[in-house]
Chains A and B, each alone.
Chain A
């Protein structure tokens, strides 16, 4: 059974940094592209960042480009999101998501973690 467990959320001041982790189990981690998707309080879903199974290619939404970095450690079955220069508008629940299959391209998110809350406030 696929299991995704996020951690690392919390309260941080504007301009601060935070690193989120997502521990994966139940599938061959290195075979699947992964993403981070966030949801601000009472708002909709926003795709944030994506990384291929090998980790060789990454992509970020314009709203976080230059501030956030997605990475993975396939030996530890763990996905990361390094968040720098945080702003109030980055406040959200951050979900780790696994694509449905290995077909390539923009595959849908077949499995989601339970999310971790990041609050940016002074």
Chain B
């Protein structure tokens, strides 16, 4: 059971927009800790996609965006492409656990 809750899977057709939610609690996201998102393509290491809630590292297309409100964070992917098919993980920090915490991951399928 992950500290941060994500839907196991989402799907969308090419060109569509999908969102992935990440629900936390008052000891992590709700406490004001930043949320980061990672993309893991099949058979590869994770890659930082969004940091500090809504910032993109250089090289990440602006089709990817993040937001945070209260105990909920979201990753939005617009103009869905076949190469976006991957696992996506949210990550934050937790004051009770005094550690970084990850969501369980969401598998994105491009139909």
Contacts and interface: CB of A to CB of B under 8 A. Distances in A.
Contact of A44 (B36, B51, B99, B105): B105
A116 B102 CA distance: 20
B35 to A, nearest CB: 9
Task: Indicate the size class of the contact surface on chain A.
Answer: 20 to 34
A46 B45 contact: no
Given A44-B2, A59-B99, A115-B45, A106 B51 contact: no
Contact of B89 (A44, A106, A114): A44
Interface string B17-37: 000000000000000011010
Contacts of B52: 108
Contacts of B40: 45
A115 B45 CA distance: 7
Nearest to A95: B45
Interface in B91-111: 91-93, 97-105
A112 B46 contact: yes
B100 A35 contact: yes
Contacts of B51: 100, 108, 110
A53 interface: no
A111 B52 CA distance: 15
Nearest to B51: A108
A113 B102 CA distance: 18
B91 A108 contact: yes
A115 B40 CA distance: 13
A100 B93 CA distance: 15
B96 to A, nearest CB: 11
Nearest to A106: B93
B47 interface: yes
Interface of A: 35, 37, 44-47, 50, 59, 61-62, 95, 100, 106, 108-115
* 8 residue pairs, one from A and one from B, having the closest CB atoms: A108-B36, A106-B93, A112-B45, A44-B105, A47-B100, A108-B51, A45-B102, A44-B104
7 contacts: A45-B102, A47-B99, A61-B99, A95-B45, A106-B33, A108-B52, A110-B57
